Amino acid sequence: MENMEPGLIQRRMFEDARNYVRNSGQFKSAQDLAELFRLDLVDLRSRLEARKNRGEIFSIDDGDSGELFPVFGFDQTRDLRPYEAMSQLLEILANIGSKRSIASWFIGLNSYLDDQCPKDLLCENPEWVIEAARDQGRECAHG
């Protein structure tokens, strides 16, 4: 890779990140969510849009698959509502880059969380995940 031009390296890194998120299985379309949780698609789309506008959840545009939502961001025991910590996490993580960067942060191993994924701790230990997000924000602020 050292002989590659910088633009090509950046494009390859972006494509690798896109594939990592896409292949994780952690992001689904509204239609997939409706089928998975046996919900009305029209109602679910409306709820997702409202929650996204309120900053309670996020989505990524996958191009081929359209808009995808993080399955791990929803509390399946509460009528598929986003976990309460999600809005605070999204506010903290807003400065780390694109929605795809945020998606990668949630599904990637995190040294602050003892090499666990933030998505896996949202339900049981949201405060720890929030502290990890703050730590990530400090890293981004200092370069």
Show the domain range for 90: 6-142
Length of the chain: 143
Which pLDDT score is estimated for 3? 65
Specify the number of domains making up the chain: 1
Domain assignment present for residue 36? The answer is yes
Domain assignment present for residue 41? The answer is yes
Q: Where are the beta strands (DSSP E) in the chain?
A: 27-28, 60-61, 67-70, 74-75, 81-82
Domain assignment present for residue 37? The answer is yes
Cα distance between residue 39 and residue 37, in whole Å? 6
Helix axes 126-142 and 85-93, enclosed angle (nearest 10): 10
Give the global pTM: 0.84
CB 85 within 8 Å of CB 126: yes
Domain assignment present for residue 1? The answer is no
Which pLDDT score is estimated for 115? 97
pLDDT digits (tens), the chain, 143 positions: 456 677 777 677 667 767 777 778 899 999 999 998 899 999 999 999 999 999 999 999 987 778 999 999 999 888 789 999 999 999 999 988 889 889 999 999 999 999 999 999 999 999 999 999 999 977 665 45
